[in-house]
Structure 1
Amino acid sequence: MKVLIARLNHETNTFSPVPTPLSAFGPDGPTFGEQAYRDNKGMRTAMSAFIDLAEAAGAEIVTPVSASANPSGPVDAAAYDLLTQCIVDAAPGCDALLLDLHGAMVAQNSPDGEGDLLRRLRQALPGVPIAVALDLHANVTPAMVDNADVIVGFKTYPHIDMYETGEHAGRLMFEKLAGRREPVTRWHALPLMAHTLRSASFTGAMQRAIDAARAAEASGTLAASIFAGFSLADIEAPCMSVIVVDDSAEKAQATADRIAGQIWAEREQFIYRSEALADSVARARKMAEGQSRPVLLLDHGDNCMSGGSCDTMDVLQEALAQGLDGIGVGPLCDPEAVAQLIAAGEGAKVTVALGNKVSLAGIGLSKTPVVLTGTVRSICDGDYIISGPTYTGQRSSMGRTVLFDIGAARIVVTERTQEPWDLGVFTCTGLDPRTERFLLLKSRMYCRPVFGPISAGLVECDSPGVTSSDYSLFPFSKVRHPVFPLDLAAA
């Protein structure tokens, strides 16, 4: 038995000014063949689970590519063509395909990156089983459902069950190959653009939806997945959906319809209402009184893992204006400032124009860099190993990195955008984040499993940027109407 196993992950924010060239797919770009295998073997990705299952089955394994990029703007056409063609070219002669995909990829030449890939694979290998593991934030499309035999999505956000999802999808595929199962996939799409901050799996309506999916599986359903969708994409349906895999089409559809009905009844609970930024910062200041641990300021309006530029200064400016001090900030992406600070050298006092340099004209915003004076405390390569629970053991690189101390704040300034999913974003510069009064993190959710336990609490700060929760900032033109909450009539 010959099995193709590949990984291609990108969550596309079509409003993001951050480009997505081929080099964005990994610390050093994508990896191919044997190196793609080594990059995943022993890790906690869905692809690593596929590898373990295939090896246990004694299969010959083909790993054409492993490519994962942080969320950003549409994938460059040339990069999309190369990565997808690599998978298609390796498929002939394979008895099964196991794909670790995201589900919300938009390329310059494809509004449905995963659907178009799966359609090509199905055309090339009619009858060959295809199993797919998807991110919880997948924007599922008809092409994905029509061209895959098994689809299973993450059940956690922050995502800590990537391996388990791959094991689930792969196990169903190998049962199909052995003739023990004949899985059928059914789908229920909802006209509901959920906010990412309402898709956390540990609270609220999303937790209840996932609990319903788990209960269905406990009762015998082969797989039930809730997809929150990724609404910051101007495509036809950046919306929630439910996919169920079962032994019969009727059972699968009935389960999907039932869970979708529950979600729709609670649709208002999937919408996030932001408070004013000044109020958020004032609340954080009050929360920090008498505390020995830092308070987290989560700048989710400029979140790297939703396509943010990682360089807006609104939250820091507001914090400084309100007199906050003892602020650890990071990471802030400004390659120009990094070069200037490195040229000055460690210990130098420097005045630098920082942040607000990436154009946000696509959403009608214009910002000016903030001139700050401070001391260069340290310079490093910005590399660290993620301790988990997300992407455990993987190397992460922020590019050349500087710790810039302006007195009230110590700012980690980097060459590359980076999600603060590990203490390493600070400790690689020599800064212990536990010693700060506040930690300003450009994050929605991934920081929480790591920074939450060391903090006194957190405050969500919605700054104006390309990952804001304020839908009125975004000029949606391709979304199919009616849709909730853009159209209240959808209620």
Structure 2
Amino acid sequence: MTLRIAVAGILHETNTFAPGMTGLEHFKSESVNGLDAFLLRYGGTRTSMGGVIDAAKRHDVELTPGLYTAATPSGMVEAAAADVLINNVVDSIDSDISGLVLIMHGAMASEQYDDLEGECLRRLRAKLGDRLPIAMTIDLHGNVSKDMVRLADVIVGYDTYPHVDMHERAEEAFDLLVRYIREEIRPTRSYGHTGMLVVPQAMMTETGSMKTIMDRAFEIESDPQVLNVTVAGGFPYSDVPDAGMSFIVTADNDQQLADRYAAELVQLAVDLKESFGLDHLSPDEAIAAALAESSGPVILVEGSDNVGGGAPADATHTLRQLVGIRERALIVIRDEQASSIAFELGVGSIFQGPVGGKSNPLHGEPVEVTGKIRLLFDGQYRHVGAYMTGQLAFMGRTAVVECGQLTIVLTEKRVAPWDLGHIRYAGLWPDDFKIIVVKSAIAWQTAFGAFARSVIYVDTPGCCSANLEHFHYERVSKPMYPFDPEPQPRFM
């Protein structure tokens, strides 16, 4: 009998400290419904959706896509938008299916739902029943709730940061779902929360403490009775009760084993808690250090304005220090107004005016710049690197302005520097610059990592700051490290 497997989802990383609200309009640029649209948009891409397509072909099952929609990480999701999104996803799924793959982030929150993924699962269960097999994929930065673990039969999170294994993890989730439908396995889940908030800058999975944790997770997965281990580093910029690092261990009909491994991983993370701290320099110190380097590019990581974490991409704390710099430097700034003015002036004209600093005072004031407009383009490109290869990106109207040795790329929309296309399609190349400022935490490495001669982390104010003391938390479960001296783990 041919299996009919549905796929649907909503993907948004919600930064509750970010300026502004996220409404339905923010999901319009990536919203597909139905098989033809799904295959056209994601076929052949190294995305979660592409992984589902490839796995369905391999298993020779009938794929029945419902609604899948996503928005760039940003501020709190509006209440009305949240209900419309959830209801549209639920309504788009045919009840006559063998199973469902749900593609979510894990750290989506709205005005009325701290745990939007859990609420979506609750409504799906109300429609599809408690026994329909559901597998869910989540981001490594998911804030996992007990409801998510209880209501999804299988949860598979990314193993990498930068995230270059979305395709593989979606295939893994699909494989486990098919095995469960065919009664070859019986997933049994255990959940453990560390009671720790960890910043994304400390979560790179190829080095340091996160590598230690991931290596142990992979060792546990080699146990024949273990189906999957998901390490969820958490998203500290979402002020919700479930924020923080957690683990999900899924065993094959062995609750004791799952519980034991989950407890072990929690303890390992707690033992490493002090190693997740980071050293940063002020913008002027960082630039001075970069100029002192014998060669470039030197990457200045302005993680406080991390687009991938919901920041506005218009922070000017570092830009202000770059004006008049004596060696070539590059920075990308989102400024819809400045971009529009550049398009009105045209290529070859002189741009003069304020840039950036228009979202809120936390991210700085506008900076006056003067430069020649060297290039204008529509800002659309496809990813050419390892991160979501083939995925479409839309920066909106984009202008390249040369202000002496400083090159400013003005974009209409916020797009994270996850791919070299971020600047390549604007006629720029990393090796031509001594200094490159990235509005990112870690994921910039998929674009610029191969070019970086050295890396300097910049400490500036912003809604994604690596210094969590900048934020006032009201809803995070307490006690919580690093605000409290000792983590208090909790389990399900």
Query: 1:341: how far off?
Result: 1.5
Question: Which residue in 2 is equivalent to 1:373?
Answer: 370
Query: 1:386: how far off?
Result: 0.7
Question: Which residue in 2 is equivalent to 1:345?
Answer: 346
Question: Which residue in 2 is equivalent to 1:472?
Answer: 469
273, 292, 306: which one pairs with 1:286? 292
Counterpart CA distance in 1 for 2:237 and 2:189 is: 27
Counterpart CA distance in 1 for 2:431 and 2:24 is: 36
- 1:230 matched to 2:235: yes
Question: Which residue in 2 is equivalent to 1:51?
Answer: 53
Is contact 1:18–1:309 with CA below 8 Å preserved after alignment? no
**In the TM superposition, what whole-angstrom CA distance separates every residue of 1:319-349 from its partner, at most 9, and x where no partner exists?**
347x44311112x100011111211221111
Query: Which one-letter code corresponds to 1:86 in the other structure?
Result: N
Is contact 2:23–2:81 with CA below 8 Å preserved after alignment? yes
- 1:295 matched to 2:292: no
* More moved, 452-461 vs 8-17: 452-461
Query: After superposition, where does 1:318-357 map in structure 2 within 5 Å?
Result: 318-320=321-323, 323-330=325-332, 332-357=333-358
**In the TM superposition, what whole-angstrom CA distance separates every residue of 1:425-480 from its partner, at most 9, and x where no partner exists?**
22222223321121112121122133121232221112211111121221211111
**In the TM superposition, what whole-angstrom CA distance separates every residue of 1:84-120 from its partner, at most 9, and x where no partner exists?**
2122122422221111111000123321110100111
Query: 1:199: how far off?
Result: 0.8
The residue matched to 1:410 in structure 2 has which SS? strand
The residue matched to 2:450 in structure 1 has which SS? helix
- 1:97 matched to 2:100: yes
The residue matched to 2:111 in structure 1 has which SS? coil
392, 395, 399: which one pairs with 2:396? 399
Question: Which residue in 2 is equivalent to 1:439?
Answer: 436
Counterpart CA distance in 2 for 1:218 and 1:203 is: 21
TM-score normalized with structure 1 length: 0.94
Is contact 2:77–2:110 with CA below 8 Å preserved after alignment? yes
Aligned CA distance change for structure 1 residues 192 and 119 (closer, same or farther; 3 Å): same
Aligned CA distance change for structure 1 residues 76 and 437 (closer, same or farther; 3 Å): same
Counterpart CA distance in 2 for 1:294 and 1:272 is: 22
Counterpart CA distance in 2 for 1:47 and 1:368 is: 39
113, 116, 128: which one pairs with 1:113? 116
Question: Which residue in 1 is equivalent to 2:181?
Answer: 177
Query: Which one-letter code corresponds to 1:452 in the other structure?
Result: G
Aligned CA distance change for structure 1 residues 334 and 105 (closer, same or farther; 3 Å): same
405, 426, 432: which one pairs with 1:429? 426
Is contact 1:401–1:414 with CA below 8 Å preserved after alignment? yes
Count of paired positions: 481
Question: Which residue in 2 is equivalent to 1:60?
Answer: 62
Is contact 1:91–1:97 with CA below 8 Å preserved after alignment? no
The residue matched to 1:53 in structure 2 has which SS? helix
Aligned CA distance change for structure 1 residues 425 and 58 (closer, same or farther; 3 Å): closer
Query: Which one-letter code corresponds to 1:84 in the other structure?
Result: I
Question: Which residue in 1 is equivalent to 2:219?
Answer: 215
Counterpart CA distance in 2 for 1:319 and 1:350 is: 17
- 1:312 matched to 2:311: no
Counterpart CA distance in 2 for 1:18 and 1:42 is: 35
Question: Which residue in 1 is equivalent to 2:265?
Answer: 259
The residue matched to 1:64 in structure 2 has which SS? strand
Query: 1:226: how far off?
Result: 0.8
Is contact 1:76–1:107 with CA below 8 Å preserved after alignment? yes
Counterpart CA distance in 2 for 1:40 and 1:269 is: 39
TM-score normalized with structure 2 length: 0.94
Question: Which residue in 1 is equivalent to 2:453?
Answer: 456
**In the TM superposition, what whole-angstrom CA distance separates every residue of 1:235-294 from its partner, at most 9, and x where no partner exists?**
11311001001111111111111111111111112233433333322221212x3x2x42
The residue matched to 2:423 in structure 1 has which SS? helix
Is contact 1:192–1:483 with CA below 8 Å preserved after alignment? yes
* More moved, 375-384 vs 76-85: 76-85
Structure 2 residue ranges without an equivalent (≥5): none
Query: Which one-letter code corresponds to 2:88 in the other structure?
Result: C
**In the TM superposition, what whole-angstrom CA distance separates every residue of 1:118-163 from its partner, at most 9, and x where no partner exists?**
1111222221011111111000001101101111111100000101
Is contact 1:390–1:421 with CA below 8 Å preserved after alignment? yes
Query: 1:48: how far off?
Result: 2.3
Counterpart CA distance in 1 for 2:58 and 2:445 is: 35
